[in-house]
Structure 1
Amino acid sequence: MASSTVPPLRPDRPARPNLAFRQVRGRRSPAEFAALVRRAAREIGERVSCDARYIGRVEAGEIRCPNYAYERVFLHMFPGRTLTDLGFAPRASVRGRGARTAEDAPCAPTTEPARTTSDGRDPGETGETSETGGTHEPYDTQDPYDTHHHDHEESDVLRRAFMTGGGATMAAATLGPFTLARETSAAAQPVRRAGTTEAGALEEAVRRIRLLDDRHGADGLYRRAAAPLRAAFALLDAGTTRQTTADRLHSGAGELAISVGWLAHDSGRFDDARSHYAEALATARMNGDEALEAHAFCNTAFLARDAGRPREAVRAAQAAQRVGRPLGSPRLMSLLALREAGGWAGLADRTGCEQALVRAQALYERGSCDNDPEWMSFYGAAELEGLKAQCWSTLGDWPRAARHAGRAADLQDPHFTRNIALYTAQLADDLARGGRPDEAAVAGMRVLDLLGQVQSSRIQTMLAGTARVLLPHRRAGGVSTFLERHASTPRTV
């Protein structure tokens, strides 16, 4: 499993854990606390994309002082406290330091337009360093996970996912606003042995691809994610000098293969997805990585269900549970039980499905914990309801499926636009098949409203099926409007 923290940027100045911040988190998991941060940001009009990884970096002391947006959010969450009270260093103490060496820099400088702050000043005037390293000691000047801004901000989200600094030759994988700047063949150029810098960049690429998928769907990302994946396995071929770094690289490459596989899966490229998941599984087994192996089996089960191989889905989910049980994460076991339930539903085994669903609910209610894998940040109450809806829909229990799908859409964090569209599309289909065409049309219109932000063949296929079911009801109120608008909506490729 990928490491939960990135090594300190200055090996001669180890990060000190932020115990005060850990104390204010209390008994909440990092993912739960991150959700509170995002909610507090919305309350004051800020836009941050905090996740469990960011909270971990703060608590590990890697972020000595938050950027201004996070400062406003934290002070809003804890009125009467200062940043110092929350365990952060004074802003002045992390500014104005000498230039870092190339080895310290998070990525090699690239030629790009000068960046300015919102009031037009150069970032250096306010101590806000650029992503290319700059001349100041880094503090958190920009949320590295923020993918909300569609144009310039999103250009930076996957920019320089792998580095050319320190002598390493990597693929210059720039997933800007859905364009790939350049692909560099690792075989064409010499590659030195990878270090912690490359391992950290690989882990960062995985997180950022997931965040972009959550916001925009898979169709616009899949082909552009191939270059980072090739670069990741080129790093493995190059070798490392330390076993701990090798372990991180194997885990990171495997997680990236799963992420790219999911992009293929969600965009309807099932054969490609199967290949990527198998690659991740092989990587996990070669490295003895049980967490990665459980993740690969989990996604394989999901793919098998969608591809019409329910018995394989059951076997893969059960294999994931066997390897995942020692990891000590009830939430992981809950999700894996849901994957098994989906397989039993595909086999029309209502009893097997219900038993797996009961087990999934009971495990979920045991709560989150520090052993929950980072990739499971998407799995909350909304996803639980959504997967239950899929099971009941497969079994043909449309009213029950619609109830769960409606709950899923209502519970979903607004940040995850793709999932809102997915759950609402599921709701529309269940309502249509359950004999409630008017309500199905209303839900379908909501999905159409979201398709400008989301590119997912899965969702478009579901909506097309709903439209076919509603055709005999085209004279019902609202149905004709939905059908006409659906017919005029272009399909993405």
Structure 2
Amino acid sequence: MASSRAVPNLAFRRLRAQHSPGEFAAAVRRAAREIGEQVACDARYIGRVEAGEIRCPNYAYERVFLHMFPGLTLQDLGFRARAEVRGRAARPAPFSPTDPFPPTDPTDPATDPPTDPTYGSGRPRPPGTAGELSETSETHEESDVLRRAFMTSGSATVMAASLGLGGAPVSAAAAPPPVLSVPAIPSPRRVGEAEVKSVEDAVRRIRLLDDRHGADGLFRRAAQPLRAAYALLDAGATTRQSTADRLHAGAGELSISVGWLAHDSGRLDDARSYYAEALATARIAGDLALEAHAFSNTSFLARDSGRCREAVRAAQAGRRAARTLGSARLLSLLALREAAGWAGLGDRAGCEQSLAQAHQLFAKGPHDADPEWMSFFGEPELEAQEALCHEALGDWTRAARHAHRATVLQEPHFARNLALYRAELATYLARAGAPDEAAAAGHQVLDLLDEVQSSRIQTKLASTARALLPQRRLPDVGGFLERHAATNVRA
């Protein structure tokens, strides 16, 4: 085990100087952004480096550290040579140091990140499925998180095959660390249960990572398994119709998931394209459930893009697709989407009518027919979506009341949603004339930003800061504004 041979990294500890581990982690993330890297460094990672548990950083962190300390080598920073850590001589590899998914030895706990046996265990986000990621899983830069989430443990061979990454199957222990590249899939090719399941698992794991860490940094890497999934569809050599149907559904859901990552990280045009791709897939396959999901996300995106008439129409189209599926919760969510569109148009009566329908449908409770992707839609999300409607109508006090309920009801392990609800609450309180309460909510959001990366949340928080500027002489408000500025959160 790594702990039996760990030697504290005193050189790295000296470089941290008087900064706390959290402050130093924030500096690492800022340095990464300066050179175009995506890392999610946190205080726990810094602690593991200083304890000697990580004896050699992976290539992404190496680039960041050398950027932070120009003129120093990894050895100067207290790290050991990569070949020495891995216990074998360096050898030519098909990766360059600039590869966004550089190779990491998953069998050596001293390399970064450490092996986590829960990755690759098939943890779907919804209840009733096996292998949930441990709550203590650490946050590493997104390139490694995604590679390990999609391509490790017992499912490595399955994922490698389904994404066109290898030839003849080999054992998971003997397989080299796979990488999320997407070479052409040879044809003819038989696509069966293993390949379909790998696509479905990719959808679930993307959703999990988004729940825990937000969308920023995940988007571009998640697009690669999406391309592989559509390559499987193009291969067209499925063993039976049920397999083809599941593959279409999985590829469509994956497209929506990647579209949501684009949406949440501010890439609205990209999101629109992915949602349209999912809708086309649904129409081709005659999949009403996928169609309803695509329309739901399209409506939400249209509302965020200021196309409120389109938001209403997309929600209505989604309701038509969903009416025979037997899920009152799905119809409730689509009614909320429609309400948001009406609110954006300034139609208070239309908004209130749709909100009433949403509550009536939600009250019918969960059902076996509820789609797997709707596991996020509980009472907290219902309250948060209603708050958005009151925000659009300019009723800041009602918006704040519903947003507060969302923060109280939300389970802490949905870190991304909790941070979003608190950011929205802070904005509403600031607009409603409660600056001290807004500052307190803003501090709670800042506490979560070490583990959550979402442009949507950052934008909300920046809006709160702007709204509070006139009250900056208040001690609580001034403290929040100073802390917000120090985090370098982008508007």
Pairwise same-fold verdict (TM > 0.5) = yes
Gap change, CA 1:129 and 1:314, over 3 Å in 2: closer
- The CA distance in 2 between the partners of 1:492 and 1:187, in whole Å, is 38
Q: 1:112 aligns with which of 101, 106, 120?
A: 106
Q: How does 1:223-372 map to 2 (within 5 A)?
A: 223-239=220-236, 240-372=238-370
Is 2:137 the partner of 1:149?
Answer: yes
> In the TM superposition, what is the alpha-carbon distance from 1:460 to its structure 2 partner?
0.3
Aligned to 2:150: 158
Whichever residue aligns with residue 418 of structure 2, its letter is I
Identity of aligned residues (%): 62
Q: Secondary structure at the match of 2:266?
A: coil
Q: Is the 8 A contact 1:163 1:170 kept in 2?
A: no
Gap change, CA 1:130 and 1:257, over 3 Å in 2: closer
Gap change, CA 1:131 and 1:368, over 3 Å in 2: closer
Whichever residue aligns with residue 112 of structure 1, its letter is P
- The CA distance in 1 between the partners of 2:486 and 2:470, in whole Å, is 19
Aligned to 2:183: 186
Unaligned runs of 5+ in 1: 1-109, 117-122, 134-139, 174-179
> In the TM superposition, what is the alpha-carbon distance from 1:488 to its structure 2 partner?
1.1
> In the TM superposition, what is the alpha-carbon distance from 1:278 to its structure 2 partner?
0.2
> In the TM superposition, what is the alpha-carbon distance from 1:156 to its structure 2 partner?
3.8
Q: Is the 8 A contact 2:383 2:405 kept in 1?
A: yes
Q: Secondary structure at the match of 2:445?
A: helix
Q: Is the 8 A contact 1:455 1:492 kept in 2?
A: no
- The CA distance in 2 between the partners of 1:172 and 1:225, in whole Å, is 16
> In the TM superposition, what is the alpha-carbon distance from 1:307 to its structure 2 partner?
0.5
- The CA distance in 2 between the partners of 1:167 and 1:149, in whole Å, is 23
Q: Is the 8 A contact 1:169 1:190 kept in 2?
A: no
Is 2:403 the partner of 1:405?
Answer: yes
Q: 2:427 aligns with which of 426, 429, 434?
A: 429
Aligned to 1:38: none
Gap change, CA 1:357 and 1:222, over 3 Å in 2: same
Q: Is the 8 A contact 1:470 1:479 kept in 2?
A: yes
Deviations 1:65-98 (A, max 9, x none): xxxxxxxxxxxxxxxxxxxxxxxxxxxxxxxxxx
Gap change, CA 1:130 and 1:226, over 3 Å in 2: closer
Aligned to 2:92: none
Q: Give TM-score scaled by structure 1 length.
A: 0.68
Aligned to 1:47: none
Q: Give TM-score scaled by structure 2 length.
A: 0.69
Q: Is the 8 A contact 2:139 2:451 kept in 1?
A: no
- The CA distance in 2 between the partners of 1:321 and 1:437, in whole Å, is 39
Aligned to 2:6: none
- The CA distance in 1 between the partners of 2:135 and 2:243, in whole Å, is 28
Whichever residue aligns with residue 242 of structure 2, its letter is T
Aligned to 2:26: none
Q: Secondary structure at the match of 2:467?
A: helix
Q: Is the 8 A contact 1:304 1:310 kept in 2?
A: yes
Gap change, CA 1:480 and 1:165, over 3 Å in 2: closer
Gap change, CA 1:188 and 1:333, over 3 Å in 2: closer
Q: Is the 8 A contact 1:145 1:208 kept in 2?
A: no
- The CA distance in 2 between the partners of 1:334 and 1:485, in whole Å, is 39
Please, which moves more after superposition, 305-314 or 153-162? 153-162
> In the TM superposition, what is the alpha-carbon distance from 1:491 to its structure 2 partner?
3.5
Q: Secondary structure at the match of 2:475?
A: coil
Gap change, CA 1:476 and 1:373, over 3 Å in 2: same
Q: Secondary structure at the match of 2:361?
A: helix
- The CA distance in 2 between the partners of 1:461 and 1:211, in whole Å, is 22
Q: Is the 8 A contact 2:344 2:392 kept in 1?
A: yes
- The CA distance in 1 between the partners of 2:118 and 2:481, in whole Å, is 51
Q: Is the 8 A contact 1:186 1:234 kept in 2?
A: no
Whichever residue aligns with residue 286 of structure 2, its letter is G
Aligned to 2:371: 373
- The CA distance in 2 between the partners of 1:186 and 1:466, in whole Å, is 45
- The CA distance in 1 between the partners of 2:160 and 2:434, in whole Å, is 63
> In the TM superposition, what is the alpha-carbon distance from 1:197 to its structure 2 partner?
0.5
- The CA distance in 2 between the partners of 1:167 and 1:261, in whole Å, is 23
Q: How does 1:40-55 map to 2 (within 5 A)?
A: none
Is 2:208 the partner of 1:211?
Answer: yes
Deviations 1:127-149 (A, max 9, x none): x999699xxxxxx9x82544640
Q: Is the 8 A contact 1:218 1:456 kept in 2?
A: yes
Aligned to 1:26: none
- The CA distance in 2 between the partners of 1:488 and 1:115, in whole Å, is 34
Whichever residue aligns with residue 248 of structure 1, its letter is R
Q: Secondary structure at the match of 1:478?
A: helix
- The CA distance in 2 between the partners of 1:255 and 1:147, in whole Å, is 25
- The CA distance in 1 between the partners of 2:148 and 2:487, in whole Å, is 30
Gap change, CA 1:304 and 1:327, over 3 Å in 2: same
Q: Is the 8 A contact 2:216 2:265 kept in 1?
A: yes
> In the TM superposition, what is the alpha-carbon distance from 1:183 to its structure 2 partner?
3.9
Q: How does 1:375-390 map to 2 (within 5 A)?
A: 375-390=373-388
Q: How does 1:118-129 map to 2 (within 5 A)?
A: none
- The aligned length equals 362
Q: Secondary structure at the match of 1:326?
A: coil
> In the TM superposition, what is the alpha-carbon distance from 1:220 to its structure 2 partner?
2.0
Aligned to 2:218: 221
Deviations 1:372-405 (A, max 9, x none): 0000000000000000111101111011000000
Unaligned runs of 5+ in 2: 1-103, 111-115, 123-127, 167-176
> In the TM superposition, what is the alpha-carbon distance from 1:415 to its structure 2 partner?
1.0
Q: 1:475 aligns with which of 459, 468, 473?
A: 473
